[in-house]
Chain A
């Protein structure tokens, strides 16, 4: 009965590798988001999709590419990983037109 789920929970990889994080929500929400939480716990929006359409694309390196195959899924692919990409990445979703966002458990990415 998980609402917003992410895989994997932990991801440890080497610099230069390409990796993906997957997100799924079973709440029937139309809008999904990716946030990055740095070591100081600051939450910053990266991307948002509404019904598979990109609506927010903050200043994020183009090594990060979101993809929404359907409105229940929003995946994040990262190319050429760098040390500074180490962080916790959260997926979230919200109902159409509503401000309340519901977060997944997070994916802790560590780049060595």
Chain B
């Protein structure tokens, strides 16, 4: 599988700030997923996107499926200390079961 380009690699922000991260692929995906991984834990699914242009929210998190189907974005509004962790994008095409993951965005939030 291919590795997706995810940016930024890391972010260090103050509590209350908004955060944006994105993921791009060289090929088209039919599903985009966003996961969060806390230290010592497995990734937890945050948001799933199923069609181009789709915008979906989960509390303070909002994610979008890019119109080209080759990118996706995740925004976190009014960050809090418990938002700390690594955020991964993952894409899947219709031709297989495997998820292709980005390298992750490490988020640090200071009180």
Contacts and interface: CB of A to CB of B under 8 A. Distances in A.
Interface of A: 4, 31, 33, 40-45, 48, 50, 55-56, 58, 90, 92, 94, 99-106
A28 B55 CA distance: 29
Nearest to B94: A99
Nearest to A97: B97
B51 to A, nearest CB: 12
B97 A50 contact: yes
A48 B43 contact: no
Interface residues of B, number: 26
Interface of B: 1, 3, 30-31, 33, 35, 37, 40-45, 48, 86, 88, 90, 92, 96-99, 101, 103-104, 106
A4 B44 CA distance: 11
Nearest to A48: B97
A43 B88 contact: yes
A99 B42 contact: no
Nearest to A6: B42
Interface centre among A31, A40, A103, A104 (most CB of B within 10 A): A103
B99 A56 contact: no
B7 to A, nearest CB: 15
Contacts of B92: 99
A50 B88 CA distance: 24
Contacts of A33: 97-98
